[in-house]
Amino acid sequence: MASGTVNARIRPEASWVRVYVWQLPVRLAHWILVGCLVVLSFTGIYIHNPFIVAVSDRSWVMGTMRFIHVMSGFVLISALIWRFYWFFAGNRWARWDQFVPFTKERRSAMKNMMEYYGFLRWWPAPQVGHNPLAGAAYCAVFGLLIIEILTGLALFDNILGNRVLHSFIGWLTLLINLQYLRMIHFGIMFLFGAFLIHHVYSAILISKEERSGLMDSIFTGYKYISPARLSREGVGERVERH
Amino acid sequence: MSDVCLPEDKLSLKDSLTVRGINRRKFLKFCSTMVATLALPPKYVAQVATALSNVKRPILVWLEFSDCAGNSESMLRATSPSIAEMVLDLLSLEYHEVLMAGSGKYADAVLQRVMRENDGKYIAVVEGAIPLADGGVYCTIGGRTAIDIATQVCKGALATIAVGACAWDGGIVRANPNPTGGVGVEEAVPGIKVVNLGGCPHNPANTAAVLTHYLTFNEMPALDRYSRPLFAYGRVIHDQCERRAHYDAGRFVQEWGDEGHRRGWCLYKMGCKGPQATYNCPTVRWNDATSWPVKSGHGCISCASPRFWDTRSPFYNRIPDVAGFGVDVPVSEIGWALTGAVTAATLAHGIGQAIRTRFRPPQEATAETEADVSLTGSS
């Protein structure tokens, strides 16, 4: 990081260790999900309410929008499957247990994080990976993504389904009427929008508070962590250092 | 319709048609229409024609319960050479309260006689829902409840055809809050063989096609999980719609009577339920294949879908309202409000954070350093 007065307040200490936290599959899955969600939301809003008035006899707006929507949907499914595989194959900060506060320590850290956000605590407790509150939020996002995928596949199956897809998802239309599947599929999109706003804000905020280079880390994979924090988390010498 | 006294009751179908002045050309035309409706290859026209020429006219009993008689109307609403006419000639319609000449106890005597003489050989057509609440008192004919009549007639029938949404799954009669406890035939009389022809009303072409299929092949056509024939209910309306090209192109009616509406553009934004409805409405059409709702400029209301009155309303919005948010609050409004609220909360937090950073003690000086977080190592 460049040294200078502007960055002084957010610069890591010289003694802090550069740790490879986010592996390439994690970062790629993250950015593919971001891209897909933006594209899916835009095309989805159009499909819900076609706001582009096409008058030309050569136009193919809805057809194109639906094609892009369906294709990015399948890209999103692939990225998510990849990420779920990395829950088990990835490093300790990519693992599935980062997203549910199973241990007493993580529950306590989650409580502290809530207190920090609620102005009941001056500083957040620095974390190497996800802080447990953020992890729980991402767990909810994964859940919403799964709902979107299931409802989306059911709607796709209604128009362009085949035997294999129908045997996989056909039960859903029997359980919930197509109309309500559409409503759920559309309504959840707003939750992603709301999440995006909060997510970007809290990423910038915590990046400044922790001085860990958190914002850079989703591009580079590296965070700056104090040696004390590393030893407290029991990372020790096993961590990949550069 | 045929009256019980007419001698032609005993005639074969071909002779009966001749008596009615229907020539061979008209008859073959009818057979072709039926084969097309059934989505069979053209080579079956000959088979259908042969079968229908030789078969004895099947005996039909038409029961009407809680409904608007719309399915009877639909059957009659056609001109010559009509499917309705053909169907009425195709069948020996022994009992139909609306159409038959007899009434009162004489009509009832006809029904009893038909059932006695043709036990297990007649086809029962049911129109209308069957109310079950309070012992079924909300629909009685000649002092007998609908469920009582339906049980007796349908159990003795070779097969039962439920025409219209009401007879299929209760239709509008069953719509929330359903005070009479109306249900469809299949549910009211369990254990009988039913072919459901949903829709509000049923399309007589499909009813005729089902009977033609039965007379030709001696079995009912392939049915879906709702016991509806696949030839009629197997495809999404959206995929067969003549306005589909406008949909893909992005040309939509924005409001009733606008330029797009006059030019026949897609009715998707007006709440057309074509994308989630299955029926052969666009190909078979109505009133002798003259038109169908979308062709006449109104969106599909998905009348052939299960419990359509409850599940497919509001008919003029694309997706239903969210429960608990009152009438006419669309999900998009709730969604944007939520997004706005989160944005406002985030901004407020940002302001709070900016104030906090001005006077909070340095991290090292507080008791809230890492040691305090009780993360004392998990290894």
**Chain B residue with the nearest C-alpha to that of A126:** B370
Largest interatomic CA distance in chain A: 67
- Residue A210 and residue A125 in contact, taking contact as beta carbons nearer than 8 Å: no
Report chain B residues whose CB lies below 8 A from the CB of A118.
none
- Whether chain B has a CB inside 8 Å of the CB on A179: the answer is yes
Report chain A residues whose CB lies below 8 A from the CB of B311.
177, 179-180
For residue B370, pLDDT over 50 is answered with no
Q: For B35-51, how does the pLDDT look when each residue is reduced to its tens digit (9 = 90+)? A: 988 989 999 999 988 88
Interchain contact, A159 vs B239, CB within 8 Å: yes
The reported pLDDT for the residue numbered B269 is 94
Pick B7-233's CATH classification: 1.20.140.10, 3.40.50.700, 3.40.50.2000, 3.40.30.10: 3.40.50.700
* Residue predicted with more confidence, B366 or B231: B231
The beta-carbon neighbor of B375 closest among A59, A226, A232 is A232
Structural tokens at position A35:
């891209």
Interchain contact, B375 vs A233, CB within 8 Å: yes
Question: Which residues numbered 178-237 in B keep a CB inside 8 Å of some CB on A?
Answer: 236
Interchain contact, A159 vs B238, CB within 8 Å: yes
The 3-state DSSP class for residue B129 equals strand
Range in A134-138, B178-182, B261-265, B285-289 with the lowest mean pLDDT: B285-289
H/E segment holding residue B197: strand B194-197
Mutate to test the interface with B, among A190, A212, A239 (most CBs of B within 10 A): A190
Q: For the whole model, what pTM was predicted?
A: 0.87
**Chain A residue with the nearest C-alpha to that of B353:** A119
The reported pLDDT for the residue numbered B9 is 55
Distance between CA atoms of residues B189 and B368, nearest Å = 72
The beta-carbon neighbor of B361 closest among A122, A158, A205 is A122
The 3-state DSSP class for residue B162 equals strand
When pLDDT is averaged across residues A17-28 and rounded to a whole number, the result is: 93
Query: Which phi and psi angles does B144 have, rounded to 5°?
Result: -105, 145
* d(CA A63, nearest CA chain B) in Å: 4
Distance between CA atoms of residues B317 and B173, nearest Å = 22
Residue A18 bridge partners (DSSP): A224
The reported pLDDT for the residue numbered A56 is 81
Largest interatomic CA distance in chain B: 109
Residue pointed to by tokens 């088979």: B47
**Chain A residue with the nearest C-alpha to that of B321:** A183
- Whether chain A has a CB inside 8 Å of the CB on B332: the answer is yes
Interchain contact, B346 vs A48, CB within 8 Å: no
- Whether chain B has a CB inside 8 Å of the CB on A121: the answer is yes
- Residue A66 and residue A134 in contact, taking contact as beta carbons nearer than 8 Å: no
H/E segment holding residue B195: strand B194-197
Residue B125 bridge partners (DSSP): B62, B161
**Chain A residue with the nearest C-alpha to that of B341:** A194
Interchain contact, A59 vs B249, CB within 8 Å: yes
The reported pLDDT for the residue numbered A151 is 96
Q: For B290-318, how does the pLDDT look when each residue is reduced to its tens digit (9 = 90+)? A: 899 999 999 999 999 999 999 898 899 88
Range in A69-73, B88-92, B224-228 with the lowest mean pLDDT: B88-92
Rg (CA), chain B: 29
- Whether chain B has a CB inside 8 Å of the CB on A176: the answer is no
| CA B21 to each of CA A9, A196, B192: distance values in angstroms, whole numbers, following the listed order | 99, 74, 37
| E strand map for chain A | 17-20, 222-225
Distance between CA atoms of residues B97 and B104, nearest Å = 9
Distance between CA atoms of residues B30 and B205, nearest Å = 10
Q: How many CB pairs under 8 A join A and B?
A: 143
Interchain contact, B334 vs A231, CB within 8 Å: no
Would you list the domain boundaries of chain B? 7-233, 237-311
Q: For A151-202, how does the pLDDT look when each residue is reduced to its tens digit (9 = 90+)? A: 999 999 988 888 999 999 999 989 999 999 999 999 999 999 999 999 999 9
Confidence of residue B374 (pLDDT cuts 50, 70, 90): very low
Domains and their CATH numbers in chain A: 17-56+70-238 (1.20.950.20)
For residue B133, pLDDT over 90 is answered with yes
Mutate to test the interface with A, among B253, B339, B343, B347 (most CBs of A within 10 A): B339
Structural tokens at position B270:
């007006």
| Whether the complex's predicted ipTM surpasses the cut of 0.95 | no
Mutate to test the interface with B, among A179, A181, A229 (most CBs of B within 10 A): A179
* d(CA B283, nearest CA chain A) in Å: 18
Q: For A218-241, how does the pLDDT look when each residue is reduced to its tens digit (9 = 90+)? A: 999 999 888 888 877 777 555 554
Bridge-based pairing state of the strands B140-141 and B144-145: antiparallel
H/E segment holding residue B163: strand B159-163
* d(CA A180, nearest CA chain B) in Å: 7
Report chain A residues whose CB lies below 8 A from the CB of B375.
105, 108-109, 125, 232-233
- Whether chain B has a CB inside 8 Å of the CB on A84: the answer is no
The reported pLDDT for the residue numbered B11 is 67
The 3-state DSSP class for residue B302 equals coil
Enumerate the H helices of chain B as residue ranges.
Answer: 13-19, 24-37, 44-54, 70-76, 83-90, 104-117, 146-155, 164-169, 171-174, 185-188, 204-217, 230-233, 237-240, 244-249, 259-262, 281-284, 308-311, 331-359
How many angstroms from the chain centroid is the CA of residue B218?
25
Domain B237-311 sits in which CATH superfamily? Cytochrome-c3 hydrogenase, C-terminal domain (4.10.480.10)
Confidence of residue B78 (pLDDT cuts 50, 70, 90): low
Edge-to-edge, what's the strand order for the sheet holding B194-197? B92-96, B59-64, B123-127, B159-163, B194-197
Structural tokens at position B296:
């006449």
- Residue B260 and residue B252 in contact, taking contact as beta carbons nearer than 8 Å: yes
Interchain contact, A179 vs B320, CB within 8 Å: yes
The beta-carbon neighbor of B356 closest among A119, A180, A226 is A119
* Residue predicted with more confidence, B82 or B95: B95
The beta-carbon neighbor of A121 closest among B307, B352, B368 is B368
* Residue predicted with more confidence, B14 or B331: B331
Contacts of A1 (CB under 8 A, 6+ apart): A7, A11, A12, A213, A216
Distance between CA atoms of residues A204 and A183, nearest Å = 33
- Whether chain A has a CB inside 8 Å of the CB on B262: the answer is no
For residue B373, pLDDT over 70 is answered with no
